[in-house]
Amino acid sequence: MASSSSRKAWHCLLTLFLLSSGAYGQLSPSFYARSCPTLQLIVRATMIKAVLVERRMGASLLRLHFHDCFVQGCDGSILLDDVGSFVGEKTAPGNNNSVRGYEVIDQIKRNVELLCPGIVSCADIAALAARDGTVLLGGPTWAVPLGRRDSTTASMAEATTDLPPPSFDLTMLIQAFEKKQLCPRDLTALSGAHTIGFSQCANFRDHIYNGTNVDPASAALRKRTCPAQPPNGDMNLAPFDVQTQLVFDNAYYSNLVAKRGLLNSDQVLFNGGSQDALVRQYVANPALFASDFVTAMIKMGNIKPLTGTAGQIRRNCRVVNS
């Protein structure tokens, strides 16, 4: 058992070393330093406006980036609309009527195109928006490696199989993340994104009515707006973190220790398994969580990017260039 966990720890460290040594892809935070020097100012200004209109949008765009990267890599494929015979990923089970913020990405793209036409990919805009959404809700900042290009394809099949559903147990989650070269520590740190935002009743109904590792008072609160019988209330929202719903902090992990995780896939991180000790560390040490979250976000942002001459720079994030 110890040797298995040691191997996983070494895998985590090796991936981090490759990433930090520059051997992990061709992305660089300074990729647009000459071709579009005002890029990050444009993204930040547009994000500030969006978050002022609706604070939840910071969480929504963080999630959009995650759902992009887990399907075909971080290539902007999630942004493609179904057009004619082209089938995108927006109607996949994990995305349909769930992923949001496409209009904000569109607005950022329009603003960027005014100053830097044909230069910046939609995939990079999504990565920057995720970082800024985190920062604007009080979370850590990081230098986003850039230089991704946009896909000309999308995969409904991969979106259906590779986005982990809320029903997954810990073993399934670890396998889903390892498939993307993310280790269990990355899984637990990235799950901390659920310190902000909301989920729909359909995603947590089974957990609050049938789960065995649920605080009864927390379940009773959730049942008020999430009826037992589907499809009643399927799209009713509840916050992942009751205390600080739209503040990026480490309260998510305190909730797990108190058995107040909203989704089954949240609570399995603290249920007598391999991640319990790390969850307790994040409760005690917010700076450790912030540091691990940044490391994991950079690793996730490096999943199979298109670089060089692969893919394209879409003019409109919703459609492939004609």
User: Residues comprising the binding site for substrate?
Assistant: 164
CB 248 within 8 A of CB 197: no
Residue ranges for the binding site? 68, 71, 73, 75, 77, 89, 164, 194-195, 241, 244, 249
Please state, in angstroms and as integers, the Cα–Cα distance from residue 29 to each residue in 34, 115, 147, 176, following that order.
Answer: 12, 19, 8, 28
* Tally of helices (H runs) and strands (E runs) in the chain: 14, 2
Please state, in angstroms and as integers, the Cα–Cα distance from residue 125 to each residue in 93, 105, 130, 142, 238, following that order.
Answer: 24, 7, 9, 15, 28
- Cα torsion 107, 129, 70, 308 to 10°: value is 80
- Distance of alpha carbon 146 from alpha carbon 125, whole angstroms: 9
- Residues belonging to the active site: 67
Burial class (CB in 10 A: 0-12, 13-18, 19+), 268: buried
Please state, in angstroms and as integers, the Cα–Cα distance from residue 162 to each residue in 155, 175, 303, following that order.
Answer: 10, 10, 13
Where does 39-168 have alpha helices with state H? 39-53, 56-69, 102-115, 122-136, 156-162
Dihedral sign computed on CA atoms, order 262, 127, 102, 42: positive
Residue ranges for the binding site for heme b? 194
